[in-house]
């Protein structure tokens, strides 16, 4: 367990998963599980594998607040913090790192296609526009070290977006953050909601059945990889018939059970049975 993985070892692991020179790769990573020698060894290894013609992309989303509890100090800036973890922070702080301007759902990238993917992804764009571009570029998606904690792929959120499901949330236009535009501080309200992604692992069996998904290790971290286009097409065909398929199975998940207007059946039973239980639990704990 004390073994730390070198850049060379991680390069070999990343290549074995099917990432090649010139690839555009969307990555979500739990760095601690990889157990690498240095803090940025994984990113360095990844950049080495994709090379000058390749691109590494990730989420660099921000904490947002619900109206009327907007926090004056929570202001999105392109070089400011992200709540998406250490890996996006490394990309943002990298000399060649770029970040899009969407106030709540920015993406960070390094490499040849970084500008193309992040272009015009600002307060007027939809949240998952960079995922559309990843699909158009025939990119790959890598999940490493966070398979259980943060399952699945962000293409599912893009499917929700194009099927119009992201706008069928009672939280629409209720959450947001401050940002600067032309030197002026403004309020941004999120119009399309991504929501809980804990159910996205339900698609794994479908990727596997179609032979789209590979798995392996990067350092000590379990890792999976899938083509963005293949994953997107698989998810779209399922969700066209069953829009609720991506919701998690936790009966107590307020986001999945009670905020989507395309899931009214569960919303009603949650309000009748689960909500009073939650409120009582809260009162009980407060005592
Ligand atoms: Zn959920």
> What are the extents of the domains in the chain?
7-249, 250-287
**pLDDT block averages, 10 residues each, the chain of length 287:** 90 98 97 93 98 98 82 88 92 96 97 98 97 98 94 97 96 91 92 94 96 97 98 98 96 92 89 81 70
CA of 256 to the centre of ligand 1 (A): 4
Whether 221 contacts 27, CB under 8 Å: no
CA of 94 to the centre of ligand 1 (A): 33
CA of 107 to the centre of ligand 1 (A): 23
CA of 251 to the centre of ligand 1 (A): 8
CA of 248 to the centre of ligand 1 (A): 4
CA of 257 to the centre of ligand 1 (A): 7
pTM reported for the whole predicted model: 0.93
CA of 60 to the centre of ligand 1 (A): 21
CA of 266 to the centre of ligand 1 (A): 12
Report the 3 state secondary structure along the chain. Answer: CCCCECHHHHHHHHHHCCCCCCCEEEEEECHHHHCECCCCHHHHHHHHHHCCCCEEEEECCCCCEECCCCCCCCEECCCCCCCCCHHHHHHHHCCCCEECCCCCCCEEEEECCHHHHHCCCCCCCCCCHHHHHHHHCCCEEEEECCCCCCCCCCHHHHHHHHCCHHHCECCCCCEEEEEEECCEEEEEECCCCCCCCCCHHHHHHHHHHCCCEEEEEECCEEEEEEEHHHHHHHHHHHHHHCHHHHCCCCCCCHHHHHCEHHHHHHHHHHHHHHHHHHHHHHHHHHC
pLDDT value at position 1? 56
Q: At what angle are helices 86-93 and 41-50 packed, to 10 degrees?
A: 60
CA of 252 to the centre of ligand 1 (A): 8
pLDDT value at position 241? 97
């Amino acid at each position: 367990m004390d073994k730390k993985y070198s850049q060379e070892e991680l390069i070999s692991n990343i290549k074995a998963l099917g990432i090649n020179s010139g690839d555009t790769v969307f990555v979500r990573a739990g760095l601690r599980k990889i157990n690498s020698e240095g803090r940025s060894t994984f990113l360095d290894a990844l950049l080495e594998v994709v090379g000058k013609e390749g691109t590494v992309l990730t989420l660099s989303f921000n904490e947002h607040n619900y109206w009327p509890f907007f926090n004056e100090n929570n202001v999105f800036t392109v070089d400011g913090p992200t709540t998406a973890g250490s890996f996006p922070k490394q990309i943002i702080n990298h000399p060649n790192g770029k970040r899009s301007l969407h106030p709540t759902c920015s993406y960070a990238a390094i490499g040849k296609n970084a500008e193309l993917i992040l272009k015009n992804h600002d307060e007027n764009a939809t949240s998952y526009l960079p995922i559309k571009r990843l699909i158009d570029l025939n990119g790959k998606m890598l999940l490493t070290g966070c398979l259980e904690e943060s399952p699945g792929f962000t293409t599912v959120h893009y499917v929700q977006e194009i099927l119009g499901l992201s706008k069928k949330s009672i939280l629409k236009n209720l959450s947001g953050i401050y940002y600067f535009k032309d030197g002026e501080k403004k309020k941004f309200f999120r119009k399309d909601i991504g929501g809980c992604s804990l159910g996205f692992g339900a698609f794994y069996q479908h990727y596997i059945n179609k032979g789209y998904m590979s798995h392996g290790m990067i350092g000590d971290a379990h890792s999976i990889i899938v083509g963005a286009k293949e994953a997107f097409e698989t998810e779209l065909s399922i969700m066209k018939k069953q829009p609720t398929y991506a919701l998690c199975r936790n009966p107590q998940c307020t986001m999945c059970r009670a905020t989507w207007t395309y899931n009214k059946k569960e919303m009603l039973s949650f309000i009748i049975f689960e909500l009073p239980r939650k409120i009582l639990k809260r009162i009980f704990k407060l005592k």
